[in-house]
Amino acid sequence: MAVLRSLAAVRAAPGLWWRAARASLGLQGRCLGRGYSVDAAQSPPTFGFLLDIDGVLVRGHRVIPAALEAFRRLVNAHGQLRVPVVFVTNAGNILQHSKAQELSALLGFKVEPDQVILSHSPMKLFSQYHNKRMLVSGQGPVVENARVLGFENVVTVDELRMAFPVLDMVDLQRRPKTTPLLRNDFPAIEGVLLLGEPVRWETSLQLIMDVLLSNGNPGTGLATAPYPHLPVLASNMDLLWMAEAKMPRFGHGTFLLCLETIYQKLTGKELKYEGLMGKPSVLTYQYAEDLIQQQAERRGWAAPIQKLYAVGDNPMSDVYGANLFHKYLQMAKHGGAEERGASGLWKQRPSATQSCASILVCTGVYNPKGPEPTRPTQEAEAAPFHGHRDFSFSPGLMEASHIVNDVNEAVQLVFHKEGWAL
């Protein structure tokens, strides 16, 4: 039941069949150009890699040496990948093409934007919200990211704060010196888009709450908070992530926890999400799977990609997500895994993928010598649960199929299992 609850918590692209959605995004029949090849003496692959970035390939702005070794095995003498690879990150405060350029410079080969999945990439499928006026939270190029995802009418937290200066009162230096006139010409906000952790948490938390409690009209007050509240779409549930510091840093999941707790405390009700994506969401893995299959189709490989190997450093997002997707695939074989559409009906999506194996590395959040919260043990039931509220705690889903030192060992392990030359 825990698996079913977790699957149900991930709401697939409403009103769209997957193949139709893929075609609408221009994925079908589009050539990536450079980056894909099969060695003449090597049979076409029937497997692909889903690679996490932070803690697996890089830590902060430094590439992990094992990642360079891994790509010496993954890339042939002509600088082309030997197998399909998709980079699946829960980062979201960067543009897709900028992340691809960053990876290209660090790893020493051309990474195409279509090989990079950011935490919010599947929001492209939520087309029923694309023409609504959405408050967007995050940092970096949030407006450009929202527009790339299809959202046509967005308002930033800073724009809202400038329109209603009396809403942001925590920082004494930013409080208005005089009382401004209340505006009545500001169009109502119709939803909230959470793309990643913001910089000023107190401002974003306050203004998002104002929007939810006022039904999109933060300059007014309501006697009773509306419920259900305005639609909320969120990405990146990571409580923690690994940078250069010795201990993990707060992630967007920590911000979501703050928002959910404040909403619950003020209203007595639970904050609901219309879409919650990024690892460990099944929707994110379906999105990645489809890109992997597209790569195989573009290469003209006769056999579809049947096995995925997901390499990550975070037991809660990477291992849990890969194992949850594997459970979904097994249930789909027997007609038990379905997705909810806009009509409220449950629709099934066929999948060529048969399995998704989780591989945990020791170069990031997971530390076999670290404190209890950073490593899975036989006493997992007693350890703090770092997952999101909407994903049931299931110790079995946090057990990796394989644990290796680094991504280079992960690639060697997979090549050995698949009978490929190192």
CB 263 within 8 A of CB 210: no
CB 275 within 8 A of CB 234: yes
DSSP code of residue 154: E
How far is 112 from 110, CA to CA, in rounded Å? 6
Going 17 to 21 to 23 to 28, the CA torsion angle's sign is negative
How far is 227 from 340, CA to CA, in rounded Å? 22
CB 146 within 8 A of CB 123: no
Helix 96-107 vs helix 65-74: angle between axes, to the nearest 10 degrees?
90
Question: In the structure encoding, which two tokens stand for residue 113, read together?
Answer: 């934007």
Type of residue numbered 133: R
Compute the C-alpha angle 131/200/90, nearest 5°: 60
Please state whether beta strands 133-137 and 153-156 pair in parallel, antiparallel, or not at all (unpaired). Answer: parallel
How far is 401 from 313, CA to CA, in rounded Å? 13
DSSP string, 340-400: E-TTS-EE----S--EEEEEE-SSSS--TTS-GGGS--TTGGGSPP-S-TTS---GGGGS-
How far is 18 from 254, CA to CA, in rounded Å? 31
Q: Which residues, in sequence order, are CB contacts of 271 under 8 Å at separation 6+?
A: 212, 229, 232, 259, 260, 263, 264
Question: In the structure encoding, which two tokens stand for residue 361, read together?
Answer: 């590395």
pLDDT confidence of residue 223: 77
Please state whether beta strands 47-51 and 191-194 pair in parallel, antiparallel, or not at all (unpaired). Answer: unpaired
How far is 301 from 318, CA to CA, in rounded Å? 28
pLDDT confidence of residue 382: 63
Q: Is the pTM higher than 0.85? A: no
Task: Print the SS3 string covering 79-124.
Answer: CCECCCEEEECCCCCCCHHHHHHHHHHHHCCCCCHHHEECCCHHHH
Instruction: Give the mean pLDDT per block of 10 residues along the chain (422 residues).
Output: 44 36 39 42 87 95 96 90 94 94 94 95 95 97 97 97 91 78 86 97 97 93 89 95 88 97 97 96 94 85 89 95 95 68 39 94 87 49 81 90 98 96 86
Long-range residue pairs from 364-367, CB within 8 A, at least 24 positions apart, any chain: 364/52, 364/54, 364/55, 364/56, 364/59, 364/242, 364/312, 364/313, 364/314, 365/55, 365/240, 365/241, 365/242, 365/248, 365/313, 365/314, 365/315, 366/313, 366/314, 366/315
User: In DSSP terms, which residues pair with 47 in a beta bridge?
Assistant: 307
Q: How many other C-beta atoms lie within 10 A of the C-beta of residue 74?
A: 21
pLDDT confidence of residue 8: 44
Question: In the structure encoding, which two tokens stand for residue 11, read together?
Answer: 């709401």
pLDDT confidence of residue 224: 87
pLDDT confidence of residue 38: 46
Would you call 24 helix, strand, or coil by DSSP?
A: helix
